Amino acid sequence: MRAIITVIGTDKVGIIAEVSRVLAENQVNILDISQTIMQDMFTMIMLVDVSKSKIAFSALSDTLSSLGDALGLSIRIQHEDLFNSMHRI
């Protein structure tokens, strides 16, 4: 299963490193990554493969969410199909 991770918040050093570390620890593979600054907000979007993840999706979601809290950012992970179905026929 593929999922989209979005990281939104104030820019600081080491955001990608921290998120990547959590993903690597849990065997989540990063397939694509892009980041930019939009309206002064750091926004990063990652496409990841969670099929070999060591932990359940809900646990991964909680882990990323707590990392977001620690970094002062909003981090979400959502099934790729949500975006496909909403924006593609």
Tell me which residues touch another protein (CB under 8 A): 3-4, 6, 8, 32, 34, 36, 38, 43, 45, 47, 57-58, 61, 74, 76-87
Burial letters 36-74, b for 16+ CB under 10 A, else e: eeeeeebebebbbebeebeeeeeebbebbeebbeebebe
> What's the min distance (Å) between Cβ of 37 and another protein?
12
> What's the min distance (Å) between Cβ of 40 and another protein?
14
- Given the complex with another protein, which of 27 and 74 has the nearer CB atom? 74
